[in-house]
Structure 1
Amino acid sequence: MKNTLIRKMLVKGMLGASISFLLSIGTTQAAPKVIGVDTLLTNNTELQLYVFECGNVSARDLSLFNPAITKGTAMEMVAPCYLIKHPKGTLFWDGGLSDSLNTEPNGVEFYEGAFNFSVSKTLISQLEEIRVKPKDVDYLALSHLHADHVGNANYFANSTWLVQENEHTIAFSENAQDYGFHIDDYIGLKDSETMKLNGDHDVFGDGSVVILSTPGHSPGHQVLWVNLPQTGPVILSGDLYHFQENRDNYGIPVWNSKKETIQSFVKIDNILDKTNAQLWIEHDKPTFDSLIKSPAFYQ
């Protein structure tokens, strides 16, 4: 793959720092769980994957996502949500922007005007179309806890929340805002049944739907592997990448932990190389526009 040389260069540059980091944490901390590619490709489970419109993002300065981009460059993005139906249950992935923004005709300004958030179609109305009630969804997983991914999270307080332990620790701490988390966005999950993860997690136990730990954009950032029998495997990117150009150039947002982001790039690239999976970059509008939307679904 054309990205292999870049990955080797990235890994070489971070090797010394990675070794120092591993030595510094000692031997008592459990290593994060890693699920191998063989497991990801073993299943034949019948799945349905629904794609929802969960908001629009007008980004006015792409240099925030990659300092190599000219300051003030703008782009229209999206904030989608997803539902996976599995024979053993349902998983809702990423919460998009809050339905409450649907009443704001001009959207709302965010991050000192760097972004405008708006919602033209509520998530609830789309779930009603497929006769799904949030209270009946078995699992909720969020790529991370920024506002454009947790806007409707409180709908799913009855679901089991699948979250990396370090992300959860920060979520309700006095330091939450230091990471760009706003507790009110997900306060309904505070007393939810919660499964705290340390690394990858096979949601239904058959390799068909797997949370892959990819820290960097946030301490507990994660992406989702979905192996669809007809469509083939798909990785939902969260904010590992924000748009195709940043994927091509390995751009690292100014907020990210650079070392962890590079490690996550390498991890997901290796999986993509070995599985030929599709990468759906969640915020990338051309990608989103090309997808079929609920009430239709992928299989």
Structure 2
Amino acid sequence: MVAVLLDRNDIQHAGVQYILDSVVDQLLKNPDRRFIYVETAFFYRWWKQQSSSMRQTVKQLVNEGRLEFVNGGWCMSDEATTHYSAVIDQMTMGLRFLNDTFGPCGRPRVAWHIDPFGHTREHASMFAQMGFDGFFFGRLDYQDRARRMRSKEQELLWRASDSLTPPMADLFTGILPNGYNPPDGFCWDHVTTHQSGMTPIWKITMLMMCPPPPHPIPRWEGPESPPPETPAEGQRPTPSRRPEPRLTGSRQAPVSGPRASRDRTPGQNDPE
């Protein structure tokens, strides 16, 4: 989550500029390609470093709908502890920059929270009142996800407020099927080594962020899992990890929204 405007690369080297450089290059090579971009803070930093010709190229891609902004806030805000006024402020900051830079073609139509842990009805209510057509997120309880995958309920109409007259706070909501990754067969940027001999861009970025250690890390070369350690004489053996609990029919989340919103009082803290 982006907290300040200051450049603090002494804390972490994110390397987002390499993603944007490669995306623009690949969009220009194939007019059938599309790309969505989320957090305005990182785009703003990249935009400041671009030449006037590159800015015109990016504006053309946005006008053609080939580079599309989603969410549009300065960041993807946390949904657990933030006050709604702070959420509105950071969304306003990001959306204002996109509007001033790209006009109506830069306006996001979909809210996108792939990274926040847990999702509240108040956020969905605010997104609906901001005029978003839909909301997509990636993280939810693993048992809730398993149940929704079996019952085909990963898409729903989220009625995010009991106090606002429908459909004022109704929002089409979808759960991303594969976490950070696109569905199988829908990714053109993630080139595997056996296909072209090239290193995927996400690996290049990670190597820039986390350089390899000076000495190789020992790897287990035996069977698929290492053998259990033999306890020393007089010591008790370390118990094996318990298997993850399996979903049962008695524990199911409501269809009306993600599990994170079950324990909220209806209508509580709904932005009017």
- Please confirm whether the aligned pair reaches a TM-score higher than 0.5, indicating the same fold: no
Higher relative contact order (CA 8 A, sep 6+): 1
Taking structure 2 as the reference length, the TM-score comes to: 0.29
TM-score for the superposition, normalised by structure 1: 0.27
Larger relative strand fraction: 1
